[in-house]
Amino acid sequence: MYDSVGKDTWDKSLDCLRPFGLMASFGNASGPVPPFAPGSLAGKGSLYVTRQTLFSHISSRESTQAMANDLFDVVVSGKVKINIDQTYPLEQIQQAHLDLEARKTTGCTILTL
């Protein structure tokens, strides 16, 4: 389970996990998760929780390049297809931001030159 929302979804996200499940918390869209008792993870099925940060993963140029190579290899192979749901010319960047903020977009959005 990946949780990017934080405070508002914390308990419900944990409740979605099966015993020994893992939740990666990586965002605070609704605010930071308040302190919690680690023992509560035992009562929900011996759960695991980790808090990820981008900077731990990109600590060196070599590791960042290796991850980028792996990603592009998978995309180029066709194993992963990236759907582009809307495209905006760069001149319409203000409209793109307004649409994103108003939740008028879904999936991937790109800007073109």
User: Structure tokens of 94?
Assistant: 């203000």
Query: Based on the domain organization, do 47 and 6 belong to the same domain?
Result: yes
Query: What is the domain range of residue 88?
Result: 83-113
Tokens 């099966």 found at: 18
- Please indicate, yes or no, if residue 19 is contained in any of the structural domains: yes
Output the pTM of the full model: 0.61
pLDDT of residue 57: 87
Are the CB atoms for 83 and 77 separated by under 8 Å?
Answer: no
pLDDT of residue 71: 94
**How big, in percent rounded to 5, are the helix, strand and coil portions of the chain?**
40, 20, 40
Pairing type for strands 108-112 and 2-3 reads unpaired
pLDDT of residue 52: 86
- Please indicate, yes or no, if residue 40 is contained in any of the structural domains: yes
Query: Based on the domain organization, do 46 and 87 belong to the same domain?
Result: no
- Please indicate, yes or no, if residue 68 is contained in any of the structural domains: no
Number of domains forming the structure of the chain:
2
Are the CB atoms for 109 and 96 separated by under 8 Å?
Answer: yes
Question: pLDDT under 50 in the chain at which residues?
Answer: none
- Please indicate, yes or no, if residue 72 is contained in any of the structural domains: no
